[in-house]
């Protein structure tokens, strides 16, 4: 499990604002639509997408590896 710290640029109506988000998930990949796709693994070969953020407006500023329970 990992914790991702994100900064989303132009979050509110394409303005100069930013939005800080923290996501806990098993990993991230790139979707065909140009987004980061954050997912959790629910079975051995099954990924459940939990969040999408546009690559060109999202900065992953930090990744923490969490201890397994």
For residue 30, being part of any structural domain is answered with yes
Q: Which domain holds residue 52?
A: 2-64
DSSP lists the bridge partners of residue 44 as none
Determine the pLDDT at residue 59. 95
For residue 32, being part of any structural domain is answered with yes
Please tell me the total count of domains within the chain: 1
Please tell me what DSSP assigns to residue 56.
G
For residue 22, being part of any structural domain is answered with yes
For residue 44, being part of any structural domain is answered with yes
For residue 21, being part of any structural domain is answered with yes
Q: pTM for the full model?
A: 0.85
For residue 19, being part of any structural domain is answered with yes
Q: Does 7 score more than 90 pLDDT?
A: yes
Q: Does 69 score more than 70 pLDDT?
A: no
Buried b (16+ CB within 10 A) or exposed e, 48-62: eeeeebeeeebeeee
13-66 pLDDT per residue, tens: 667 888 899 999 999 999 888 999 999 999 888 999 999 999 999 999 999 999
For residue 16, being part of any structural domain is answered with yes
Cβ neighbours of 34 (radius 10 Å): 10
């Amino acid at each position: 499990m990992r914790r991702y710290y994100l900064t989303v640029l132009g979050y509110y109506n394409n303005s100069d604002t930013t939005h800080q988000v923290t996501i806990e998930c098993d990993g991230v990949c790139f979707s065909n639509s140009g987004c980061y796709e954050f997912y959790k693994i629910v079975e051995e070969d099954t990924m459940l997408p939990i969040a999408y953020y546009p690559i060109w407006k999202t900065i992953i500023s930090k990744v923490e590896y969490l201890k397994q329970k």
